[in-house]
Amino acid sequence: TGAALGGPLRGHSSFVNSVCFSPDGKYLASGSSDSTIRLWNCQTGVEVGEPCSHHWRTSVQSVCFSPDGKLLASGAYEKTIWLSGWDPNTGVQRGTPFTGDMKDVSSVSFSSDGRLLLARYRDGSPATWD
């Protein structure tokens, strides 16, 4: 119908650049220009745990759940991608950075089987990891 299904999810202090549903549809991740990632319960609209703000110093450009819902990839204009495991009950995220010969990241995505992580850099070029 085009009607809103609920009110806005309030929490970020700046623009939201990316949102992604978990594969089971129970959670939503949002990445913002306030340098945080927030996790939301889709049924209640309540934020799950504290915002993840320790990964980034700049705007979070992209967030994406793995197909099994156990990992959350995030990218920013810092030449790094974070791959975080997270607990949906507490919202706690523990991450590992991908670093090295990288550029500013505009977008991240997993392959349908979850074996590959793809990125699009700010300059338009792609990258893939297994």
Q: Give the pLDDT confidence of 95-123 residue by residue, as tens digits.
A: 777 766 778 899 999 999 999 999 999 99
Looking from the CA of 60 toward its CB, the CA atoms found within 13 Å total: 30
Q: Is 3 part of a structural domain of the chain?
A: no
Q: Looking at residue 92, what is its pLDDT?
A: 73
Q: Is 58 part of a structural domain of the chain?
A: yes
Return all residues near 100 (Cβ < 8 A) that are at least 6 apart. Answer: none
Task: Look at the chain and report how many structural domains it folds into.
Answer: 1
pLDDT tens, position by position, 42-58 = 999 999 888 887 667 78
pLDDT tens, position by position, 6-41 = 778 889 999 999 999 999 999 999 999 999 999 999
Q: Is 92 part of a structural domain of the chain?
A: yes
CA–CA gap between residue 54 and residue 114 (Å, rounded): 25
